[in-house]
Structure 1
Amino acid sequence: MKILVTGGAGFIGSAVIRLAVSRGLSVINLDALTYAASLENVASVAASPLYAFEHADIRDREALDRIFNAHHPDAVMHLAAESHVDRSIDGPSDFIETNITGTFNLLEAARKYWAGKGRPEHFRFHHISTDEVFGSLPADPSVKFIEETRYDPRSPYSASKAAADHLVRAWHETYGLPVVLSNCSNNYGPYHFPEKLIPLMIIKALAGEPLPVYGDGSNVRDWLYVEDHADALLTVLQRGETGRSYNIGGNSERTNLELVTALCAVLDELRPTGKPHAKLISFVKDRPGHDARYAIDASRIAGELGWEPSVSLDEGLRRTVRWYLKHESWWRPLLARDGAGVRLGTKV
């Protein structure tokens, strides 16, 4: 199988590529190399004959047509997206252009290519989305997002991803394009750009800086180790039912304060400073429209495809901290990039 992966130099996309190549799958990495991308993320597979790179933007339809015709993929895994909620508050237009218009362009390029090939049944367009399209959940732990949960996006980011999800479903229903969709919970792990919560907290703690937690830290997220997610995505691509959607979660709900406190405990063990890192935790003004709770019911992917997460949150946090301690040469240069380590989402 040859897979066209969009956004393959990003956090989740690079995890997919590393895993796919390790399993003998051919991959074309299509990436615009915007601020959060790095080819260092796929350096371990860059010399493989199974890997090819195309520097292109999904907003460029001509480039997409050229890439499809040059590489003849059997499947598309669409991960390219603007994904940081705080950035979407400050600059929503980038999210509309990439996540909506870019997805439209990719769907049309894929449809043209698929039709030109005689509409092969084995072709797949896998659209990777987020649980944030479902909005916010109550505190009741028995209530979780299922695949049929009504969409209720609350930020420019989640609204743009919801729109993209609807486009993908429409292209399946209207044109017959063979698609699968997945909506995941919060990812974490190696190669995570240092604007997101976990890498940001690790890096600030190592520098002895305050660890800013929004509001009172009570917002709840379900955490999914990125390498588990990559495995789930390949499972959905290869075995998921056409036209079907699959929720992917880590079965690991924590409040933001609990998560940061757990990170601090791991840092106390692996990089002791003489005083608890949790003393650095500070509370800052909450994000506008901050969703209270996300939680994934992943019973469909477990029941139909036999996939479940293999890495517990405790083990995943330990692996992640160890990785950042070992790979300072990867993350330190990224701190000079636009917005890294800076509070965003305040322009309201």
Structure 2
Amino acid sequence: MKILVTGGAGFIGSAVVRRAIRDGHQVVNLDALTYAACLENVAEVANDPNYNFLKADIRDRPALDQALADHAPDVIMHLAAESHVDRSIDGPGAFVETNVTGTYNLLEAARVYWDRQGRPDSFRFHHISTDEVYGSLGPIGQFTEETPYDPRSPYSASKAASDHLVRAWGETYGLPVVLTNCSNNYGPYHFPEKLIPVIILNALAGKPLPIYGDGSNVRDWLFVEDHAEALLLVAQKGELGRSYNIGGENECSNLQLVQMLCGILDRLRPGAEPYADLITFVTDRPGHDARYAIDPTRIRDELGWRPSVSVEEGLERTVRWYLDNESWWQALQNREGVGERLGTKA
């Protein structure tokens, strides 16, 4: 396939780019290179003849039209998004502009391109979204593809809106779309504003390890390389008009997660005191969802996919990567918001 990946210099997008190139696909990486993007994430494939990088913003419709005309992809995998809940609390406008208006621009550009190509059956528009659109779960139950949407943050609301736009373009215009909603990703190249990289880097610096509330919020953790594999499978074999929930089958509370990270660091990079001594409970963020959990039955039964990396193995691989790649994260320390508590202006 020739795949146009939006947001391919970000965390999940770069994992998709690296995996797609390894699998022999041609890739056009379209990225605006905002604060969370880093071309080092795709350095290992930058010189591959099947890889092209294009700096462009999904909010720029003419740039999208030109990219599609120039590169003629078979598949669009749309990962470009503002994705940090705390940032969405402080500045929701950027999330509406990128996640809603940007997705609209890309859908319209894709529709015009598809029409001009003669509406080939092989074309697909794959929209990548989040389980946060479903809202918050109690102590039992899981999200399925039929769970009603109930977003609780500006971030999840903007992603829910983009999901609805994609479905509408499929129903109204016949655009061949497929959607996926994933649980919390983690792994190498994770920008140091999310929980796991923040905990690792704060621990190494001897700083407090901040946990919102009492740490009881539960997430389903999905190793990013497992996710990339699943996304490429859906892009090729998913049923048009259908959505697939992609989960890690690895639920744990934020406190349990941080304690596991501390244990791994105690073993791999022991300090004077146990890292768990640095755990600090901080004021919860507004509207913090209690629990997410995904039922991955559909993707398992229809496409034969399930995660291969347990949370214990994935966390160890992630910690080792950060220990071995200090130059990558050191270069990001001066970017906006890194190392700061966000989401408190409300």
TM-score range for the pair, normalised by the shorter chain length: over 0.9
Give 1:88's aligned amino acid.
S
| Residue in structure 1 matched with residue 19 of structure 2 by the alignment | 19
Map of 2:122 onto structure 1 = 122
- Work out whether 1:239 is the aligned partner of 2:266: no
Letter of the 1:315 counterpart: E
**Aligned counterpart, 1:335:** 333
Task: Kindly provide the CA deviation profile for residues 176-196 of structure 1, in whole angstroms up to 9, marking residues without a partner as x.
Answer: 000000000000000000000
Counterpart position of 2:35: 35
2:160 aligns with one of 159, 162, 171: 162
Give the 5 Å matches for 1:1-348: 1-140=1-140, 143-348=141-346
- The aligned length equals 346
User: Quick one: distance in 1 between partners of 2:298 and 2:130?
Assistant: 16
Q: For 2:192 and 2:275, how far apart are their aligned partners in 1? A: 18
Which whole-Å CA distance do the structure 2 matches of 1:149 and 1:260 have between them?
A: 29
Q: Name the SS of the counterpart of 1:224 in structure 2.
A: strand
SS at structure 2 position matched to 1:275: coil
CA deviations on 1:215-263 (whole Å, 9 max, x unpaired) are: 0000000000000000000010001000000000000000000000000
The residue matched to 2:332 in structure 1 has which SS? helix
What amino acid does structure 1 have at the position aligned with 2:148? R
Shift of 1:312: 0.5
Q: Residues of 1 paired with 2:335 and 2:245: CA distance? A: 32
Q: Which runs of 5+ in 2 are unaligned?
A: none
How much does 1:52 deviate? 0.3
Runs of 4+ in structure 1 over 6 Å off: none
Following superposition, the deviation at residue 42 of structure 1 comes to 0.2
Distance 1:267 1:186 in 2: 21
SS of the residue corresponding to residue 128 of structure 2 reads strand
- Unaligned 5+ runs, structure 1: none
- SS class of match (1:336): coil
**How much is the aligned-residue C-alpha RMSD, in angstroms?**
0.4
For residue 17 of structure 1, report the CA deviation from its aligned partner.
0.3
Structure-2 separation of matches of 1:4 and 1:239: 17
Identity %: 73
Structure 2 counterpart of 1:76, which letter?
I
TM-score when normalising by structure 2: 1.00
SS at match of 1:44: helix
Aligned partner of 1:312: which letter?
S
Shift of 1:329: 0.0
Shift of 1:274: 3.0
Shift, 1:156, TM fit? 0.2
SS in 2 for 1:126: strand
